[in-house]
Structure 1
Amino acid sequence: MSAYRVGLIVPSSNTTMETEIPAMLRARAEIRPETFTFHSSRMRMKHVTPEELTAMDNDSLRCAVELADARVDVMAYACLVAIMAQGLGYHRDSEKRLAEAALAETGATAPVVSSAGALVEALQHLGAQRIAVLAPYMKPLTATVCEYIEAEGVKVVDSISLEVPDNLAVGRLDPAQLIELSQRVDTSNADALVLSACVQMPSLPVLDAVQQLFDIPVVSSASATVWQILRRLGLDPVVPRAGVLLAG
């Protein structure tokens, strides 16, 4: 049985990625002979504001070096908006900087993925050209996220912002509300729905249920991150009950 170490770079107030990513990868045990362990390093952030996001992102290099000390097989920068708030296309620079920092300090090499890059690449992989988005952010930050995605060639036709600035409160949102919100956001001209454009807003408990309501792909930042983690490990990106993206 193959065993993999997954490193997570997370905001200090994030409680969801260390729940949803392990849940998805452990579900693979039903269909693949693999095991995963999870190892985190944290960046201080409590409120989802541009100032705190920039300060937090500056701390990401330290986290990459710490995880490299554990010789993880892959690292995931698990904060979508922190990347997208730093400028268009920044996920490419961030992933490169983190990998280079880890190599320079420890001599270890491991692929680096980001939730921001994973979501963009997943949408492109699905052939999505027009999407609807659900996000917990204040409206200006949701606009930043939509602008970032559109700069990557995917048009956002509608979005809903829950306007919850406290990141800990975002992690306590009831995922069941996403079922009703998915019916409110306008998907009539969309070819994919982003159920949670935030790795802290819980969505996995309802991801498959919402997928059953739509004939277009339903993805989340977390499911896209798992998809990219598996691809970077050279594994087939398949997870049971996690939407079309991970259905194989």
Structure 2
Amino acid sequence: MAHPLPSLRPEYQKAIGVITPSANLVVERVTTAILSDFPEVSGHFSRTPVFGSKDLFPDDYDWDGMLAAARLLAHAKPDIIVWNGSKGANLGFPADDALCARITGECGIPATTSTVALQAALPHFGANRIAVISPYGRAYQERLLGRFQAEGLAIVAEAHADIADNLDFAAMPDEAIAAMTRQVAASRPDAILSWCTNMPAAYVVDGLERELGIPILDSTTLAIWHALSSIGALDGRGRRWGRLFDIRSRAG
């Protein structure tokens, strides 16, 4: 006689669905690591095509791919669906507001993104003067900085690694990420944005924040922090992932 599957085990009380770019090696690792501090929350993943050195949809989302990934996650009925990708900031902040609305409209599930999470986090730090680090090439970085400025943020410093291929972003060593962070910290911004969800900056955030005395908002961590905030899971745990996790009230 077959035993029924324990589909509602008490230790798994909440679920987060995460959409990640297809060439991304960082999001799932970081999400799983963060959620190890929140054992009642399970993470579930779906992918949308984003790979190589050329974006096939430079001025918009691949809506078919994005919504297909969201629909698959919706089968598991998570409490929230997260687009853990940084592209929305480069398209302009309203793009991710529209993405969340479409996901919720089609799936009936709340949604957030790295860019939406950034908008929720910045006021908690009183941050308007920002520095930005990324693995991107100059043209993409300049467009990104322009988008941040269009939202009223002052860019006081930037550094980028000038890497072309999406998959190669994930191979950046801690030392290179730390060097860029220290470089822009010299301008004493209100916050430093580590902007690319395939750049593994999450692992060095806490140590660098303590060293530099400046909040560091990593796009990968931001999305999961905001998802946890939205489902009411923040309670002081997760502090090893940065000052974000000192914010315990629901954000945004």
Of 25, 49, 70, the match for 1:64: 70
Of 13, 19, 34, the match for 1:3: 13
The 1-side partners of 2:55 and 2:126 are apart by: 31
The structure having more radius of gyration, on CA atoms, is: 2
Q: Does 1:15 align with 2:20?
A: no
Report if aligned partners of 2:185, 2:212 keep a CA contact under 8 Å in 1: no
Report if aligned partners of 2:23, 2:167 keep a CA contact under 8 Å in 1: yes
The 2-side partners of 1:236 and 1:139 are apart by: 37
Question: What is the one-letter code of the residue matched to 1:232?
Answer: S
Aligned to 1:203: 201
The alpha-carbon deviation at position 143 of structure 1 amounts to 1.9
Q: CA RMSD in A?
A: 1.9
> What CA deviation, in whole Å up to 9, does each residue of 1:164-185 have, x standing for no partner?
1211111121123222222222
The 1-side partners of 2:43 and 2:35 are apart by: 10
Of 72, 76, 85, the match for 1:79: 85
SS in 2 for 1:9: strand
Q: Pairwise mapping of residues 84-233 of structure 1 onto structure 2 (< 5 A)?
A: 84-102=89-107, 109-194=108-193, 196-233=194-231
Normalized against structure 1, the TM-score is what?
A: 0.87
Q: Matched residues, percent identical? A: 26
Q: 1:88 to 1:206 in 2, by over 3 A?
A: closer
Q: 1:125 to 1:71 in 2, by over 3 A?
A: same
Structure 1's unaligned 5+ residue stretches are 29-33, 103-108
Normalized against structure 2, the TM-score is what?
A: 0.85
The 2-side partners of 1:90 and 1:55 are apart by: 8
Report if aligned partners of 1:179, 1:206 keep a CA contact under 8 Å in 2: yes
Question: What is the one-letter code of the residue matched to 2:151?
Answer: E
The 2-side partners of 1:207 and 1:85 are apart by: 22
The 2-side partners of 1:208 and 1:186 are apart by: 15
The 2-side partners of 1:237 and 1:85 are apart by: 32
Q: Does 1:39 align with 2:41?
A: no
